[in-house]
Homo-oligomer: A and B are copies of this chain.
Amino acid sequence: MSTASAARREIPEATVARLPLYLRALRSLGARGVEVISSEALSEAAGVRSTGLRKDLSHLGSYGVRGVGYDVGRLSEEISRELGLHHDWSVAIIGMGNLGHALAAYGGFATRGFSVRWLVDEDPAVIGTEIAGLQVIDFADLAKQAPESIIAVLATPPHAAQQAADQAVALGVRSILNFAPCVITVPDGVEVRKVDLATELQILAFHEQRGRDGELSSRHFVSKDSGSARSIGATKERRTSWGEAP
């Protein structure tokens, strides 16, 4: 399927991490009927610098038109393809506590290429119950039902995370999103990304503390990671209620 010209471009890790932001912005623009957009405007919508955006996109190839900009639909397609979103990914959520429960019901995955298809727990009191339209199963059942490649979302308490990760890996899982606030160890070839909510708050606390102390020196708190604080004047559509989760 891959042609000779498909020599695998190396895409910098920092760029990969931003592609989803561009895609998100493009989809939103597309939904509003925007068909062509400049790097300047797109970068603003994505919360990055235009020069960085162009550099990032240059790693994918040349999909823009000088003097004009980028075709929103075309660029969405190309980024989707690059991210591997042309087929849907199946997700298993492991650990049905508060967080696992919320993630199971979270609507934000389906719209972005992921189907939550399995909910796993080891507590007999939870197994068999229905959450967000799915039956909670145990690992043995997951092994039977999930021969294909899946992404595991770990939402167990920390003391159970390593064991759960081991079981997932034994099933062939090679991508894990870890919400448990602990380090998990996996074999080579398995990728782990982590989201630690309290860690994020602690980083904010650090800056807030520094900020108050150093008030008079009038620093600017332009965080590296968050990025979004950087851009000014981005789209400002408002209104409506927010009873439902993001």
Interfacial residues, chain A to chain B (CB-CB below 8 A) = 2, 8, 13-14, 16-17, 19-21, 23-25, 28, 45-47, 82-85, 89, 91, 95-103, 105-106, 108-109, 111-114, 121-123, 125-126, 149, 151, 153, 155-164, 174-186, 188-214, 220-221, 223-229, 231-246
Contact = CB atoms under 8 A, between A and B. Distances in A.
A108 B8 CA distance: 42
- Number of copies of chain A assembled together: 2
Contact of A203 (B20, B174, B213, B244): B20
B20 A202 contact: yes
A175 B241 contact: no
9 contacts: A16-B206, A17-B225, A89-B208, A99-B102, A103-B197, A159-B240, A163-B238, A177-B204, A178-B226
A190 B221 contact: yes
B24 A212 contact: no
A12 B243 CA distance: 39
A221 B178 CA distance: 16
Contacts of A239: 159-160, 163
